[in-house]
Chain A
Amino acid sequence: MHSFGHRANAVATFAVTILAAMCFAASFSDNFNTPTPTASVKILNINWFQKEANGNDEVSMTLNISADLSSLFTWNTKQVFVFVAAEYETSQNALNQVSLWDGIIPAKEHAKFLIHTTNKYRFIDQGSNLKGKEFNLTMHWHIMPKTGKMFADKIVMTGYRLPEQYR
Chain B
Amino acid sequence: MGFVGDTVESIRSMQIRQVLTQIISLGMIVTSALIIWKGLIVVTGSESPVVVVLSGSMEPGFKRGDILFLHMSKDPIRTGEIVVFNVDGREIPIVHRVIKVHERQDTKEVDILTKGDNNFGDDRLLYAHGQLWLQQHHIMGRAVGYLPYVGWVTIIMTEKPFIKYLLIGALGLLVITSKE
Query: Which residues of A pack against B, CB within 8 Å?
Result: 23, 27, 78-79, 81, 83, 85, 91-99, 102, 104, 106, 121, 126, 140, 142, 144-150, 152
Task: Select from chain A the residue with minimum beta-carbon distance to B61.
Answer: A144
Given A78-B61, A144-B61, A148-B145, are A94 and B79 neighbors across the interface (CB < 8 Å)?
Answer: no
Closest to B133 in A: A126
What are 17 A-B pairs with beta-carbon distances under 8 A? Answer: A78-B60, A83-B80, A83-B99, A93-B103, A95-B101, A95-B103, A97-B79, A98-B79, A98-B100, A99-B80, A99-B100, A104-B61, A121-B99, A126-B111, A140-B79, A150-B82, A152-B80
B144 touches A (CB below 8 Å): yes
Tally the A-B contacts, defined by beta carbons under 8 Å: 79
Hey, which chain B residues are within 8 Å of A93, CB to CB? 102-105
Inter-chain contact A97/B146, CB cutoff 8 Å: no
Q: How far is the CA of A146 from the CA of B111 in the complex (A)?
A: 31
Which residue of the partner chain A has the closest CB to B79? A97
- Contact of B23 with A by CB under 8 A: no
What A residues does B104 contact at CB under 8 A? 92-94
